[in-house]
Amino acid sequence: MYNLLKGKRGIIFGALDENSIAWKTAERVHEEGGTFVLTNAPIAMRMGTIKDLAEKTGSQIIPADATSVEDIENLVDKAVEILGGKIDFVLHSIGMSVNVRKGNHYTNQNYDYTQKGWDVSAVSFHKVMQVLHKKEAMAEWGSIVALTYMAAQRVFPDYNDMADNKAYLESIARSFGYFFGRDKKVRVNTISQSPTPTTAGQGVKGFDGFIAYADKMSPLGNATALDCANYTVSMFSDLTRMVTLQNLFHDGGFSNMGVSQAVIDYFDKE
């Protein structure tokens, strides 16, 4: 380990269980010398094993509904108090589609469900940054990262309305990132990760097919949750302090591929 985050303080949203990228990131941040508070929605905390992660990393848990400005304000105030200073890094690893959970096709959405998923998956990112900005809770040269997927740019039919949510999330990162950079010298980026078998990801219809296809298409293969955690650590560190407003593809090269020999060979067998 390199002590890349020694002395840095942060907030990590979305650690559910050991399969989640936020969980792996928390472990790696801890190994690199960073301290943080963990947060998730109360219902998600009951479903997962976040207490084990808190014990392992010596962290405190602050329950918060990321769609509630009041909850976020309480989270930020307590985080600054617990950690003993301003926040250096934030990971937003939150995504949810009620339409996907209920099996509603993209062409037959329940719009109340659509709004809920949009609020949880994208608008929550704006709310988090707005609270941090208003409270001047971020340290200069801090780093805010949200996780996304390239269905924001290309059609993956079964990804449903999550594709729209991720597109909006990426737009928020750019738009708010301008003001955070100009006003506070804080950088804001999104990481577009390979399809990863997290608890949330496996809820998408045909997800195993997504993973297998991406692995055949990518010259380096799929990036794992741990790979993403390592990349996120680099984005939290001072080594990337001039990187902002970017959607960073972390997908083994998939995003620049048209077709691969492995895919051609697969269909030639048909």
How high does pLDDT run on average in the chain? 95
Residue among 95, 220, 111 nearest 170 (CA)? 95
- The beta strand positions in the chain, using DSSP E, are 9-13, 35-39, 60-61, 87-92, 138-148, 187-193, 247-250
Two structure tokens written together for 122: 């994208």
- The pLDDT assigned to 267 comes to 86
How do residues 174-210 score in pLDDT, each as one tens digit? 999 999 999 999 999 999 999 998 766 656 667 788 8
Q: Which fold has domain 9-268?
A: Rossmann fold (3.40.50)
Token look-up 């600054």 returns: 80
Render the burial of 109-124: b for 16+ CB within 10 Å, e for the rest.
beeebbebbbbbbbbb
**pTM score, two decimals?**
0.96
pLDDT score for 94: 96
The pLDDT tens digits for 59-88 are 999 999 999 999 999 999 999 999 999 999
Residues constituting the chain: 270
Domain ranges across the chain: 9-268
Confidence of residue 246 (pLDDT cuts 50, 70, 90): very high
Chain-centroid distance of CA 183 in Å reads 24
**What is the number of other CB atoms lying within 10 angstroms of the CB of residue 245?**
16
Task: Give CA separation, 31 vs 6, 24, 48, 49, in Å.
Answer: 9, 11, 22, 20
